[in-house]
Amino acid sequence: MNYIIPFLILITIVVFIHEYGHYYFAKKFGVGVTDFSIGFGKEIFGWNDKSGTRWKICWLPLGGYVKFFGDRNVFSQAEQQEIINKYNEEDRKKLFILKPLYQRSIIVAAGPLANFVLAIIIFTVINMVAGKDLTPAVVSEVLKDSPAYNAGMKKNDKIVSVDNKKVESILEISTFINTSSSEIIEFVVLRNDQELSFKIKPNLIDSKDAFGNSVKKKVIGIKLSPAGNEFQKQPLAPSKAIYYSFKEVWFVSVTSLNYLGQMLTGSADTSQLGGPVRIAKITGQVAEYGVIPFLSIMAYISVSLGLVNLFPIPMLDGGHLLFYLIEKIMGRPLSQKTQEGFFRIGLFLLFSLMFFVTFNDLKELGLF
């Protein structure tokens, strides 16, 4: 229960924000909304608002949907003429499919966008309240015969960038190293007011994260420690807090896309890809450290959800945006039959991914 409850809270908020993005712009453009669901399957409880929308919570809490008036599912499309013949003039005004292309595109894109906005707001609040660590990354020890030692890195070198990413905190070094998609990583250090560049190939080792979970870790053989063993964490002004929030969301997005690229080329460690079980476990572990860490993991999950939904895969928001791009180019929407064919492909891909990450989760639990 220590894992399940924090996970349910996190996933409910993140999914609600995503679906509310769709809902908000649908209502703004006059689209009828019949259902707003958090979860799938049988309804646990719900209520109807004055506009006729059924707000409900369902048993399977791994997603949600907004159902539009006249649609068989969230964003299904039928042939234009069939729609026109089926509904009267008043009802046609509420149909999603008959809205201008730009409005449909905004409604679909609003879900992922809402997730990015949520993450930016969370990071901004954290930066303003808890503060951001700005401790310089100064090397306190270089292990003999390590990759860093052999490259020429020395004690008291101040690391200023890793793979062209500016280092602003000692806490960023491990993150930058382990999220790098390069086999050889470039480090720029400041030594006696002179900048030096080192190209270092990290060692890959089996390790444990802060919660005891097994991970593959890249190490170069250095130790970092703040001066006086005190971290320089300070609350930021609103403008700086927002700047660093955008920067963090961008970093997470780019890093995730790089990892996806590595997966497609077969060079990524796919054992680190987890599903709901692993997310629930990590969420529960992080929640034990307090509200700020819990909000941080919520922001990261929100970015991931928004990003994944933008992938051009049928069944996802990105797939529908791809359909709209094709519609713009062709001057007409794809036929219902063609779309259903693509939806089947998208469903197969999503189920395959779900099977894979679930296998990884069960493997980590020692069931395989």
Residue 170 dihedral angles phi and psi, to the nearest 5°: -60, -30
| Greatest Cα-to-Cα distance within the chain, rounded to the nearest angstrom | 79
CB neighbour list of residue 350: distance below 8 Å, 6 or more residues apart: 313, 315, 316
CA 202 – CA 335 distance, rounded (Å): 51
- Write out the two tokens for 57: 């919570």
Contact at 8 Å (CB) between 128 and 238? Answer: yes
Q: How far is CA 199 from CA 20, 161, 241, in A?
A: 46, 12, 32
Task: Give yes or no for a contact between 77 and 97, defined as CB atoms under 8 angstroms apart.
Answer: yes
Instruction: Please name which of 306, 149, 172 lies closest in space to residue 231, comparing C-alpha atoms.
Output: 172
Q: Is 63 left (phi over 0), alpha (psi -120 to 50) or beta?
A: left
Quick check: 312 and 320 in contact, CB under 8 A? no
- Sequence-separated (6 or more) residues with CB below 8 Å from residue 122: 245, 295, 296, 298, 299, 302
> Radius of gyration over alpha carbons of the chain, in Å?
24
Cite the DSSP H helix spans in the chain.
4-28, 80-86, 89-92, 101-129, 147-151, 172-178, 238-265, 276-287, 291-309, 317-330, 336-364
Catalytic, out of 19, 43, 183, 364: 19
* 172 tagged catalytic: no
Which DSSP letter does residue 335 get?
P
Residues annotated as catalytic are 19
